[in-house]
Amino acid sequence: MVSEMKIKAVTWLVIPALVILLALVLYPTVYLWGMIFYSYHPARDPYPFFVGLKNFGILAGDSEASYTILAMLALVGITIPTQLVLGSLLAILFTARNTCGKLGLKVLLLIPMMIPAVIIGLNWKMIFFSKGPLNGLLSSLGIPPQPWLSEPFGNPYVVLFSLAVLDIWQWTPFITIAVMSGIESAPKEVYEAASLDGASEIRTLWHIVLPMIKGIIVIVLLLRIIDSMKIFDIIYTLTYGGPGIITTTFPFQIYKTGFTLTSAHPDIGYASLLALILLAISSCIAMIIMRLFHIEKLIWE
């Protein structure tokens, strides 16, 4: 009797959460799936209309979309490994016994993460300006100024590296903090035992501590990959996807397609299809990482 009442109470308590979940997650997701079969030009159509598989046909011939997927993956490919290596090295440096001024360094490290991406984009735009401080520094060193946001070193595609620099600058501290917390949470006995066995600090880190915090690193890696694939605000303020579409990544292309008219196929229905593709790519990458590193096992460990 009591257990039945408990079940009833729990059911009633769950209902509000369920309603919110349905309204905020399930309905938009179902709507998104439905929209891929519709066409809706944001400025010209009074309402969405059914087009069947037409959006898939557009996608098949959309070279812009293919390029922007590649640009997104290239950016992830550059930023994530760099952030991981750099962030881990910094974490090791900050947790080393002989490092002075650790607190000050940690505070400094946090600053980029605390600045809104829009402000970062606008500030770096000034830094990258042809008469800006970066080119000023280069000139004082006798190096010719570079058009950092269009053709650095004579190659327009190198501009993706300028974007990557910003992402690395902003998000490396996140990896550092996560790895640092892992290193610091390792039991002191482990260090003492390793020390008694005559292991150097580097060997202790490499062979004992890093395997112990592998779980943290993998989760951080996963979070950063998903986040890096969504990069938008810095592109919006720094290059607006230009020159041409060189710095247009896939999420920015989805935005342009669905919410502006400056795309070859401005259509909310087509943008929904692109959004689902982004979801599929993110899910695939996440699954590969989870399988590769046996993430469930790592978490339980």
Residue number with CB closer to other proteins (173 or 241)? 241
Residue number with CB closer to other proteins (128 or 191)? 128
**Which listed residue (79, 239, 249, 272) binds other proteins by CB under 8 A?**
239
**Which listed residue (82, 127, 129, 208) binds other proteins by CB under 8 A?**
129
Q: Which residues pair with 38 in a beta bridge?
A: 50
The stretch among 165-173, 194-202, 237-245, 292-300 that binds other proteins (CB under 8 A) is 237-245
**Which listed residue (2, 44, 114, 197) binds other proteins by CB under 8 A?**
44
The stretch among 83-91, 95-103, 127-135, 226-234 that binds other proteins (CB under 8 A) is 127-135
242 binds other proteins (CB under 8 A): yes
Strands 38-39 and 49-50: antiparallel
Task: Tell me the C-alpha to C-alpha distance, in Å, between residue 74 and each of 78, 93, 125, 271.
Answer: 6, 29, 21, 22
Residue number with CB closer to other proteins (182 or 266)? 266
x/- site string to other proteins, residues 146 to 185, per CB under 8 A? Answer: -xxxxx----x-----------------------------
Size of the site for other proteins (CB under 8 A): 32
Q: How many other C-beta atoms can be found within 10 angstroms of the C-beta atom of residue 187? A: 9
- The widest CA-to-CA distance across the chain, in whole angstroms, is 86
Give the H or E element holding residue 225. Answer: helix 214-229
- Give residues 248-287 in contact with other proteins (rule: CB under 8 A): 256, 259-264, 266, 268
CA-CA distance, 223 to 102, in Å (whole number)? 26
Give the H or E element holding residue 276. Answer: helix 268-292
**Which listed residue (37, 161, 169, 240) binds other proteins by CB under 8 A?**
240
144 burial (CB, 10 Å; 0-12 / 13-18 / 19+) is exposed
Residue number with CB closer to other proteins (228 or 248)? 248
Both tokens of 112, joined, read: 């980029």
CA-CA distance, 38 to 63, in Å (whole number)? 21
Both tokens of 261, joined, read: 């008219």
Q: Which residues bind other proteins (CB under 8 A)?
A: 40, 42-44, 64, 128-131, 145, 147-151, 156, 239-240, 242-246, 256, 259-264, 266, 268
